[in-house]
Structure 1
Amino acid sequence: MRIAILGHVRQRIAQPFAGGMESHCWHLAAGLQARGHDVILFASGDSDARFTIDPVLPIHYEATFPWAEHRGSAPLIAHLDGGYEAACDRIAAGGFDVVHNNSLHRFPLEPRQTAAVPTVTSLHVPPYDALHWFVRASAVPTHRLTVTSAGQLAAWWPEGAPPQASVLHNGIDPALWPFVGQGDGSAAWCGRMTPNKGPHLAAQAARIAGMPLTLFGPIEDPDYWHAEVAPLLDGTIRYGGHLDGAALAAEIGRASVFVFTPCWDEPFGLVAVEAMACGLPVAAFDMGAAREVIGEAGCFAPAGDVPALAKAIIAARALPRHLPRQRVERAFTRDIWLDRCEALYRDVATTRPSLAA
């Protein structure tokens, strides 16, 4: 199939990944290419050059619109609208069989766009005002909508999801996250350094549990980092940097437990699945999709309860390491995910007006 992948342009689609959305888009493009599809990645022009890129914007927008200026910025909105409008026009004229939309932008959701090219939209976030109405109005025969967890499905459609919407769990390549049979007694945390990811709470809980902790990931919110996280760093709580996939997998695999601290309705939790593939049981706040994703491979604490999370860290460390790896192999592999993507593409492609007439 000839497939357009329309990405989010806040960050580059390249390693080291800024977050789960960038990882999702990169592995989607790479996986579909490996399966023989003709893939064009519509993303920022500074994304990974191994892909054929049709730039939505010349460079990712954080390069010109700093993190603190995102919300309600009229120049940024105009910048994005111009880029996505032109990209949607090129996709409509590009002879694509399907577009997989990961953009979180309203233009690709419009019925005139999905009528031009059958579309699969993956929603990576809980419902929010700027996109909510457009998503709900976009459930038409030429459009399939996916979310990453059952909880997220209920959040977007509390009255019941339309037939065009379904759960599509994210998947990883287990070979990229090698299983390690024994940890070194430490804990690991990974994610963007922002308040809604809660690294400061992970550090506090690890200190109570008496377990060394290494934090990995990009410092997205410098003010938060300097005020809440950096003061907690010492001999046992350390920052390991923002690493590419292979280096991060090696570091995570050495630990004995992974700490997962969503402070919002996390739709999935890709970092937890990556750690589980390495054999790490997870100590997590019971929020968002955490329990749905982690299941028997972890121990849970009420959201925001640091002393309870410390107890969960100690309890999770005692779980057999084969449990998390087996859960990933059973439910969250890249092949399972790509098989489902291809099934969605075939399904929605049959709705082309020329075929349905």
Structure 2
Amino acid sequence: MRVYLLSTAVAPLGSGMGGGVEHMVVTAACQLQKLGHRVSIIAPMGSVSGLPDLIILPGRLAPTAVTYGRDLPLPIEADAFLITALRWLTARVQSDDVILNFSYDWLPLFLGDYLPCPLATLISMGPLNRSMDLEIHRCAARHPEHVAFLSAAQAASFDMSNPIRLIAPGLELAQYPYNAHPGHAVGWLGRIAPEKGLEDIFALSARTGITVMVFGVMQQPSYWDRLMKGYPNATVRYGGFLTMPALAAAVRDFRALLMTPKWLEAFGIVGIEALACGTPVIAYQRGGVSEYVRDGETGWLVQPDDLEGLCAAAEQIDTIDRARCRALVENHYTVAHYGAALADWLQALTTGTIG
């Protein structure tokens, strides 16, 4: 089977600006190739992946969906990468091909009704825009096998009815060495942007004296500068944007990973990256994180925006058995699990059923 993977339209692969979607696209390509499929990734200019069949197309990058606003109209620009990619695919796909779309935009969902082959979308975010939500619901009602979600909590946020297909990301465990004896600092991973809630990390450090190491793309330097000035007593250190294997080497040394999103995280792949190294996770209970953070077992879930609860959880982190964190990923979130879920999805797309 020929499978085209349409990457995120907001950033090149390898830039880090596309968040966990970048990881999911590349991992999907590797797993589907191992299963014998012919796979091509369609991605914006500047993309790098290390994979042989990477098709790079020009076009203006899309703004991240977080900036759209709930009721604002969604932009459609004639010179956008997404338009270029969809035109390229429309001119080439055959009836026995499949397109898996990882771009969070209404247009691929709409276009799926008019292509000779199935176009299915792995929804990577929660509800952010009314028009996008309407198109997801329309597509799910008309072709339920054409839509999948990363977590049950994410699907529930769209008020989706059963049956719902869930496809969680998976990790190559060999890339995430387990560490039973971490250092003293805790960590935080993600884009440096307001929706990620980094101000609560600064507040925690200022209150408790805990050192926090921050790694990620510096998307909004002014936001970081404002936090540095606003919390002079916080011991928060920025270590830059790390790629593998340096990322795993840093994460495995954390006593814990903190996740403090101000929006609904569909899954939060950095959480399972931490657990794979044996690093417990302390997270606000927003979205998919609740599916792998289990109180007292793999970390602690805190009510959203509860700074007191966040600080209290940080004081208990050494009670977590790090081996149980690793075991959870081994049992549920490997590349083998991800590949099997994708293979089952392809089967459903070609037979018109949903499992």
TM value normalised by structure 1: 0.87
Task: Note the C-alpha offset of 1:289.
Answer: 2.3
Q: Does 1:97 align with 2:94?
A: no
1:253 Cα deviation after fit: 0.8
Does the 8 Å CA contact 1:299/1:312 hold for their aligned counterparts? Answer: yes
Partner of 1:32: 32
Are the counterparts in 2 of residues 253 and 278 from structure 1 also a CA contact under 8 Å?
A: yes
Aligned residue in 2 for 1:155: 157
SS in structure 1 opposite 2:126?
Answer: coil
Q: Deviations over 1:129-182 (max 9, x none)?
A: 231111111133484211111111111135x23x4x322222111111111111
The answer (yes or no) to whether the contact 2:16–2:22 under 8 Å persists in 1 is: no
Q: CA deviation at 1:78?
A: 3.6
Distance in 2, matches of 1:14 and 1:339, equals: 24
Matching of residues 28-177 of structure 1 within 5 Å: 28-48=28-48, 50-51=50-51, 52-55=53-56, 57-58=57-58, 61=61, 77-80=77-80, 82-91=83-92, 93-94=93-94, 97-110=97-110, 113=113, 116-127=116-127, 128-139=129-140, 140-141=142-143, 143-158=145-160, 160-161=161-162, 163=163, 165-177=164-176
| Structure 1 residues 234 and 244: alpha-carbon distance in aligned structure 2, compared to 1, 3 A threshold | farther
**Does the residue aligned with 1:245 lie in a helix, a strand or coil?**
coil
Q: Quick one: structure 1 residues 337 and 203, their matched pair in 2 at CA, closer, same or farther if it must change by over 3 Å? A: same
**2:238 matched residue in structure 1:** 239
Q: Aligned partners of 1:234, 1:38: CA distance in 2, in Å?
A: 54
What do you get for the CA RMSD once the two structures are aligned? 2.8
Bigger CA drift: 112-121 or 234-243? 112-121
> Structure 2: where are the runs of 5+ without partners?
none
CA distance in 1, matches of 2:208, 2:239: 20
Residue 204 of structure 1 is matched in structure 2 by 203
Pairwise CA distance, 1:255: 1.3
Return the offset for 1:96.
5.1
Q: Secondary structure at the match of 2:344?
A: helix
In the other structure, the counterpart of 1:355 is none
Equivalence for 1:316: 317
Instruction: Name the structure where helix makes up a greater proportion of residues.
Output: 1
For the Cα contact (< 8 Å) 1:11–1:60, is it kept in 2?
A: no
| Alpha carbons 2:150, 2:168 under 8 Å: kept | yes
Q: Name the CA shift for 1:198/1:350 in 2 (closer, same or farther; >3 Å).
A: same
CA distance in 2, matches of 1:50, 1:211: 38
Which one is further off, 274-283 or 22-31? 22-31
Give the letter for the 1:153 counterpart.
A
How far is the alpha carbon of 1:74 from its aligned partner? 8.3
CA contact (8 A) 1:152 1:289 kept: yes
Verify the 8 A CA contact 2:6 2:103 in the aligned structure 1: yes
List gaps (5 residues or longer) in structure 1: 353-357
Structure 1 distance, partners of 2:171, 2:252, is 15
Q: CA deviation at 1:82?
A: 3.0
Tell whether the 8 Å contact from 1:46 to 1:60 is kept in structure 2 after alignment. Answer: no
Provide the C-alpha distance between the structure 2 equivalents of 1:148 and 1:43, rounded to a whole number of angstroms: 21
Q: What fraction of aligned residue pairs are identical, expressed as a percent? A: 25
Measured against aligned partners, the alpha-carbon deviations of 1:1-47 in whole angstroms (never above 9, x if no partner) come to 21000111211112656411112112212332243321111111321
Matched residues, number: 345
The answer for the alignment partner of 1:9 in structure 2 is 9
Match of 1:13, SS?
A: coil
Relative to structure 2, which stretch is displaced further, 224-233 or 32-41?
224-233
Deviation of 1:258 (Å): 0.9
Q: Is the 8 A contact 1:5 1:99 kept in 2?
A: yes
- Measured in 1, the distance between the counterparts of 2:284 and 2:30 equals 32
> How far 1:256 sits from its partner (Å)?
1.0
Distance 1:184 1:49, change over 3 A: closer
Question: Cα distance 1:59–1:173, how it changes in 2: closer, same or farther (>3 A)?
Answer: farther
- Distance in 1 (alpha carbons) for counterparts of 2:49 and 2:170: 23
2 CA distance for matches of 1:280 and 1:233?
28
Distance 1:66 1:111 in 2: 20
TM-score scaled to structure 2, two decimals? 0.87
Quote the residue 1:183 is aligned against. 182
Change in CA separation of 1:177 and 1:321 when aligned onto 2, cut-off 3 Å: same
Q: Give, in whole Å, the separation in 2 of the partners of 1:309 and 1:324.
A: 19
State the AA in 2 paired with 1:172: L
For residue 125 of structure 1, report the CA deviation from its aligned partner.
Answer: 0.7
